[in-house]
Structure 1
Amino acid sequence: MNTTTITTQHINHSTASGAAKRSENFGTGRPPPSAARPSMYQIKSNGRPGILGRRQRNRKPDRKDAALEGKRFEQNLPTTRKPNIGVTNVSTVMTPTPVNRSTPMLMSNRDLPGPLSMNRLDDFGALHRLDDISAYLAEYSDTLFGRGIIMTKVVPSHAIACGRSALWVWMGDGFPDVIDIISGSHFRSMAYGRPIKTYDRCVPEGHMSTIAGLKVTSPTRTACDIALMSGATIPGKRRSELICAIMREYHISPAACLTILEKNHFWPNVPQARRFFKAVQYCF
């Protein structure tokens, strides 16, 4: 005899009706009718349903919340770590190092960390010493404008740099051992450990230039001043090398120098300078 099993499904009508009621109120912002009313000790919101109330909007975050927000929105700092494998489109924004432009061209021991720093920097070639306590930066002496500024600090005011001082401004190389100037005054004091030699000569407007505020004789006039110096001041071979170097650098013709000497024939050592320019006039 076959036995048939009959399964009876019992439906809980109360549960079904409650679900239907909850589905009607779902997403409307209103509580279902069966929800319990808030007690008198619960804080009521002053805003509209579904929107933060005034108290919640004006609530100050706690320290823990601020720490979490800081971790979530931390600044994207540049890093040198390699990206993980499989990560693409990684870009790093590097901020250039600010250049310190407050370093003076002429400095003393007080501008350096210690008394031995100047000796070390001089050995490395970063500085060139003027005396025991002063030096100038080597990078500034590589340009005409920089040499003009350095010589401005050395030459007395209202004076014109000439001779060896002007030659260093135009050509560079080693700083002169004597500061040659054109002035009506005499200076007995030393300038950065170097004596000041004064020449009382006329300088027309065409024989003078201005570099970084420094009044300096023109290259042609400087070549004439070097040629007028005696052998005791500059040896003859060295003097000829310096004159030829500045004439090649600034394309000076010997005829222009001879013209200046003819107009100032009363200067000392004019015959010596005239013989030199006549001897080299076929080389330029």
Structure 2
Amino acid sequence: MVIDMNMQTNTLTASRNWASPTNRGPTGPSGPTGPAHRGPANLGSYGPTDRDATIETTSETLAKLGITPTPTAGRRYMTCAQTAAKPLLNDRDLPGPLSLRALSDFGTVSQLDAVSGYQTTHADTLYGRSTILSTLVPHNTTVCALTAAWLWLGGLFPNTVDVISRSHYRTIVHDRSIRVFNRRSPPEHLIRVGDTRVTTPARTVCDLVLLPELAEDNGDTVDRMVTDMMQEYRVTPDDCLTILDRNPFWPRVAAARSIFEGLTG
């Protein structure tokens, strides 16, 4: 059984009330200095020594009852430890509204929006990035495309949350829309990292090349992701061509094939 040490404060308050002028009764030998009106444990002459004795008595009483006092500070330290273990933080986890911005300026936290962000140290490892995504992506979806590339490579978090699903999501997640791809995903194209289901590096490369962004202004960014993915995880053009050959009806397959065929030449 656990009880807070605030019980001691209540005991001390009651002691002070007993010693207040309204409770002392008449002065003189029969007043608070006399034996008849001193109250329990001579609390009429309340002082530091009596206060310490009261605390000791309260602690002994609690011990006899089998109650273990738990200081409030202990709970606070436990909360701090739990907060430090969280991959994703919001302003309610921090001391004040400006803490998130300060931590972001120091590089401790990477902000996702005005009120939340993930701890930079968690994003340094593959498993750490998977724990961050497990709190962001919808349940029973597969991370793909730009979001999968972030899991495999790290770097800046993408502006969309890309998933494979048969559902549609209109909600905004940390100022980012959920972009859904309803594409065939056989088991050999999927892998689980921690609690996050994600496309394999080869399938992720294919999804990146099929993105409309590749032909837009930020195509250079996607192109660098493709190059980094192929080098980091030894994905060959033939690996991607095999996937595309088995899915000839995906959008922009012809353009993707020409890119990988150019890499084999």
Query: Normalized against structure 2, the TM-score is what?
Result: 0.67
1:233 Cα shift? Answer: 6.0
2:207 match: 225
Q: What is the aligned partner in structure 2 of residue 192 from structure 1?
A: 174
Matching residue of 1:271: 254
User: Please, which of 196, 206, 220 is the counterpart of residue 237 of structure 1?
Assistant: 220
Deviation at 1:175, TM superposition (A): 0.4
Matched, 1:118 2:100: yes
> What's the CA shift string for 1:159-208, capped at 9, x where partnerless?
00000110000000000100010001000000111000101111111100
Report the Cα offset of residue 248 of structure 1. Answer: 0.1
Show the counterpart of 1:136.
118
2:138 is the counterpart of 1:153: no
108-117 or 228-237: bigger deviation: 228-237
Q: Which amino acid aligns with 1:206?
A: E
Q: Distance in 1 between matches of 2:117 and 2:126?
A: 18
Gaps of 5+ in 2: 1-77
Separation (CA, whole Å) in 2 of partners of 1:254 and 1:277:
5
2: CA distance, partners of 1:137 / 1:200: 31
The alpha-carbon distance between structure 1 residues 179 and 233, as it changes in their structure 2 partners (threshold 3 A), is farther
> SS state of the match for residue 138, structure 2?
coil
**Greater fraction of residues in helix:** 2
User: Would you say 1:258 and 2:241 are equivalent positions?
Assistant: yes
In the alignment, the residues of structure 1 paired with residue 152 and residue 246 of structure 2 have an alpha-carbon distance, to the nearest angstrom, of: 24
Relative to structure 1, the CA distance from residue 234 to residue 214 in structure 2 (aligned partners, 3 Å threshold; closer, same or farther) is: farther
What corresponds to 1:204 in structure 2? 186
- Return the alpha-carbon distance in structure 1 between the equivalents of residues 200 and 192 of structure 2: 9
Q: Distance in 2 between matches of 1:248 and 1:236?
A: 18
2-structure distance, mates of 1:119, 1:233: 32
Matched residue, 1:216: 198
Q: What is the Cα deviation at residue 213 of structure 1? A: 1.1
Structure 1, unmatched stretches of 5+, are 1-97
Where does residue 18 of structure 2 map in the other structure?
none
Shift of 1:101: 4.7
Q: Which has the higher contact order (CA 8 A, sep 6+)?
A: 2
Find the residue that maps to 1:158 and give its secondary structure: coil
Residues of 2 paired with 1:281 and 1:212: CA distance?
34
Amino acid at match of 1:133: V
Structure 1 length as normaliser, TM-score? 0.63
Coordinate RMSD, CA, aligned:
1.6
Query: Which region of structure 1 is more displaced relative to structure 2, 134-143 or 225-234?
Result: 225-234
Give the number of the structure whose alpha-carbon radius of gyration is greater. Answer: 1
Whose strand fraction is larger, Structure 1's or Structure 2's? 2
- Where 2:173 maps in the other structure, the secondary structure is coil
